[in-house]
Structure 1
């Protein structure tokens, strides 16, 4: 630990979790000698929840990170974190600048993995970067004008939302959703039936139950040798995380997620907190999977836990339960499956216009939450899991 009297906290990543952790922690420690530095490659905050809209050709609001941080006291450093020296407690940025830390919040989120299938990295597009999403939208407009074909690979929430958005915005296109599983398999029967009818209404072709074996420049090859024509291929399946933690010798699981204790501290380096997609967080009902719904609570908890420990107070274990699965189906339709704590389907679901308004409130809330968190403590957790987590 440094002999410097200023307590230095570095936050890596300014996605949903990193932004909230930095702003909330700054407010919680504003009366203490604490210096918080937020590191991110870009100045613009990326709304990952909305990148399927960008890919379909829509423009989003421009949320500038320094502007959001203004007045919070958080220092913003633009650049890539390239190495962590856990012995000296230093982070290298762009291989040149060094940032010392007493505590580190590791909030480097995940991205879509195009290394799983031959040709995906060379011929498929992803929703990892807003700049690529804009370029995809430009190509999509050209393909749409020619009445071409688009293949969306992956039937998870991202794939469903992207396929629906593209089909609605470009009705002249043939949109094919390719998935090894049934779309909406995580939902209850009624919500899944509604989802299926919406995909039918939008004219989305489904190729289900067969693995993708190769991505070609103008087609997707599936098991059995069949070629699905595709002037554009959008890849939404598979997840990879930054190798930075593992390279630094921090304990990670098989997927590269930082293994944390019940208070989200690294089990090998307790001065490091991991949040969101970067953390292997277990509850009594199982391991949390990376979503904004679970990520924001981990960020808020980590900020609060650091602040409490700096004041010499005890910290209770992190508790979380899922509450909903919100899925947009274009701009005029949506389906919301409410869930149990372990993310299995609950009794209720919401559809149509009410679901659209609900989904929009979910997607639009984070930037507002960051700004409000500079002034007050904002609740970001819909469920702590109840009995399902108290057993831990």
Structure 2
């Protein structure tokens, strides 16, 4: 394993009055793959450039393997980096591109030859040594960039949207390739992306950022199934939101009124009872499209609505249903294409159902 611990402690960055990153702290274990996920302007790339040493933090500390590198120059941190644009030297062959960091570190020729051979074998580019970047496909160029970043066996590998320029099929193939290489070497990876599927596929943990702050850090399963805020719930995967009002919150269950006659039971957002919702408090009731199913409209536990649209999306069917609840929101229901449900007519009355544990309850923002 080549990876070392990476620790960020109260890291912040300001550009004049603009706060790009605000008080971010987390610890990444040796060999762990952590994706920093967020929309444009969330601070994820600024965070990466501070770890790399290209930007100096306004405050806070960065440590690699227990060593404080906050003030160290980029070339003193021994960090590997892969960019979205690959940044390969067009006048150099594959071998020369990969060997470049070793030459800068004054490795002798036999050591360079041996290391380049081993890393090209790892990224499955044996036999491509004498080709130039313009003779390679996008995926092959990206693998050369990964090989060059890893050839010096850095304790931390930083990747900034490295697959953003590739088409969908190639991007998905490269995700698996990167994960294979990382797992084999045991590299510590910080991977910046705005693509939620990419983050969920690759990562041991996902750090979700918004407005320069770290809003949730956890495994892909935790981030997806137990979002801690409406932002995370909406940004990671698809989520339906329904306005409601808390009737009572007790014994781990919230009873949420979503219309004059409909109350939904949901798991309480406060498992320890410390911050229970108050009676009459406005809330957002959230549920994933795949957690909803159809029920008889007159069922006691069903949420009534009517069909707005039915869409075939290959592996699944997507139904848009307008609910007969506060504000009459349109929600999505996602069912496997093989499910023998419907077809429905536009305007047809239906009922929707989900298990208590599939509902998430968030306090509504104050007006």
Normalising by structure 2, report the TM-score. 0.24
Higher helix share: 1
Higher relative contact order (CA 8 A, sep 6+): 1
Normalising by structure 1, report the TM-score. 0.23
Q: Quick check: which has more Rg, 1 or 2?
A: 2
